[in-house]
Chains A and B, each alone.
Chain A
């Protein structure tokens, strides 16, 4: 086939008039679908407020929501709290032990002279009375919810030994209506589904959002020209540029770990999808696969040296690994079952999440790359698009809940999960963003 034709001006910057604060759909609704048998009992006492600087946000409620949503904590209801301390030295540990809580969180929101808002919290072990953590987060009043998620992250890490991923964001696609009156929205929200921000909307499909490693940009596919194109967009300002609108398929962009390149799928005029690497600064294109099969859905290994991708070169869709340079030879990674596709690699590079055909149902599975062991983690019939949290502890994926697409999470041990539903329409293709600095 002839090489895909580069379109002149593909890098022309197009500024999209996007309002950074504009909200999209109403907030996603959360329901916890499974949790561990013995969650950690914890009391999160209402924080001392700073009215009106806190904008009415109940920080303790956000923290409680985060921790309970993880399925690993059980919070003491407020009406059963024996006292309302806001400082560690006000906590009578035995009182809280008696109320059944192993840990107590207290805190304070205060307005600073600079106009910023400070959140202080203390975490106390009720058995020993020891103060396990004391921390302060300072930010603009509008970032108070983010500060609350950082409190959750710190508590999660102190008690469970794993960094929490509550102060992170997800991107996803929301769809209303049916063709020809479809309405697509690309949305960014906090990991708990709150604080939604509309990135782009279109009457034509929007697909495959992928975060840049710095969390500033999204790459995605848009059919707005009635032809597929790959775009990159600065989330904060809406500034975007088209980076590929070559003949045939332009799809499946995935940002390299160094943020300089995209792996993507190009079909060319002959219509045979193969994997390429696009250098974003130079626009240089490097062909990685050359096979008459469908090669697509590339994703980078965390070291940036290789790619995993889906190919039906052996007759059915399976996952392969190939060096990220021309002429590399692919190695097949999945062998169980007739369909394994859409790989995503855990942040430590040890696990591969994918969609697998399991007893006639499409489900999310994780393969341990060292041992080859596969575990099916979801239970739906049309589950897809798994994406790792940056701490590697949880996957978010898309499922079909009755007639509608919803998002769901499952912990890597399969023990905890929750569902995020839009009040109307469906949500799909979640992509979990990186840790913010």
Chain B
């Protein structure tokens, strides 16, 4: 990891040096506000996100080992084994009240990209509501929709699409801050 960072820094400084004489020196970046999250300052890449929300493996026993819920086309209804998977995670979150998860909603590649962001969010919210109804607390859950941007599998047929219409339950390592 450290080596990667060094390489990136060298690459960034090379990139800077290469064009420094072609344009006025930019003003120093203002320190990003903590609440705005990590931003891609100081490099031409936007990858400074790691650190704030490190991902862990999460619980592995029984149904808890399954951390993906699948959906039908253009639907956000939790069905079949997905119901049991969500129930198991709800039970776990209720029993471990300082554990946090991020629900990542995804769609298949069909349809427009921003509409699919909306659909992925709807799926993540569907899982969120099911978790809340079964005892998890709002503060334990965050959601994000990647729409069709991060498919689980490549391919452009129904078999691939079925695996990509999903919500991933991602356990985060940073526990919920204890209530004051």
Interface residues on B, range: 35 or more
State whether B53 touches A9 (Cβ < 8 A): no
Cβ of A176 under 8 Å from chain B: no
Chain B window 138-165, contacts with chain A (Cβ cutoff 8 Å), 1 for yes, 0 for no: 0000011110011110101000000000
In contact, A10 and B36 (Cβ under 8 angstroms): yes
Bound CA span A131–B33, Å? 62
B143 adjacent to A271 (CB under 8 Å):
yes
Could you tell me if B19 and A382 are in contact, using CB atoms closer than 8 angstroms?
Answer: no
**Do A245 and B36 have beta carbons less than 8 Å apart?**
yes
* Count class of interface residues, chain A: 35 or more
The answer to whether A248 and B49 have CB atoms under 8 Å apart is no
B39, B41, B49: residue with the most chain A Cβ atoms closer than 10 Å: B39
Confirm or deny: A130 has a beta carbon within 8 angstroms of a beta carbon on chain B.
Answer: no
The answer to whether B18 touches A225 (Cβ under 8 A) is no
Residues 193 to 248 of chain A near chain B (Cβ within 8 Å) = 198, 200-208, 222-229, 236-239, 242, 245, 248
Contact of B35 (CB < 8 Å), options: A9, A204, A384: A9
The answer to the question of B60 belonging to the interface, with a C-beta cut-off of 8 Å to chain A, is no
CA distance A17 to B23 in the complex (A): 11
Complex interface residues of chain A between 394 and 416 (CB less than 8 A to chain B): 400, 403
Contact B49 A249 (CB under 8 A): no
Q: In whole angstroms, what is the CA distance A274 to B48 when docked?
A: 29
**Nearest-Cβ distance from residue A168 to partner chain B, whole angstroms:** 23
Q: Are A12 and B30 in contact (CB under 8 A)?
A: yes
Q: Are A19 and B144 in contact (CB under 8 A)?
A: no
Do A16 and B41 have beta carbons less than 8 Å apart? yes
Given A228-B117, A228-B145, A271-B121: A19 and B19 interface contact (C-beta under 8 Å): yes
Q: Which residues A249-306 have CB closer than 8 A to chain B? A: 249, 251-252, 265, 267, 270-273, 294-297
Are B154 and A20 in touch, CB under 8 angstroms? no
- A37 on the interface (CB 8 Å rule)? no
Question: Does A339 lie within 8 Å of B125, measured CB to CB?
Answer: no
Interface of A is mostly: loop
CB-CB under 8 A from A339, the residues of chain B are 111
Q: A160 an interface residue at 8 Å Cβ cutoff?
A: no
Residues of chain A within 8 A of B48, CB atoms compared: 224
Q: Evaluate contact between B16 and A204: CB separation under 8 angstroms.
A: no
B44 touches A271 (CB 8 A): no
- CB of B122 within 8 Å of the partner chain: yes
A385 in the interface (beta carbon within 8 A): yes
Taking a contact as CB atoms closer than 8 A, the residue among B38, B52, B117 that contacts A251 in the complex is B117
Interface residues of A (CB under 8 A from B): 7-10, 12-22, 178-179, 182, 198, 200-208, 222-229, 236-239, 242, 245, 248-249, 251-252, 265, 267, 270-273, 294-297, 310, 312, 317, 339, 341-342, 355, 362, 382, 384-385, 400, 403, 429
Q: Write the residues of chain B forming the contact surface with A, with a CB cutoff of 8 angstroms.
A: 12, 15-16, 18-19, 22-23, 26-33, 35-49, 52-53, 102, 109-115, 117-119, 121-122, 124-125, 128, 143-146, 149-152, 154, 156
Apart from A9-B33, A294-B115, what 20 extra A-B contacts exist at CB < 8 Å? Answer: A7-B33, A8-B35, A12-B33, A14-B29, A15-B26, A17-B15, A19-B44, A178-B151, A178-B154, A200-B46, A201-B45, A226-B49, A226-B102, A237-B26, A242-B39, A249-B117, A297-B112, A310-B112, A317-B111, A342-B115
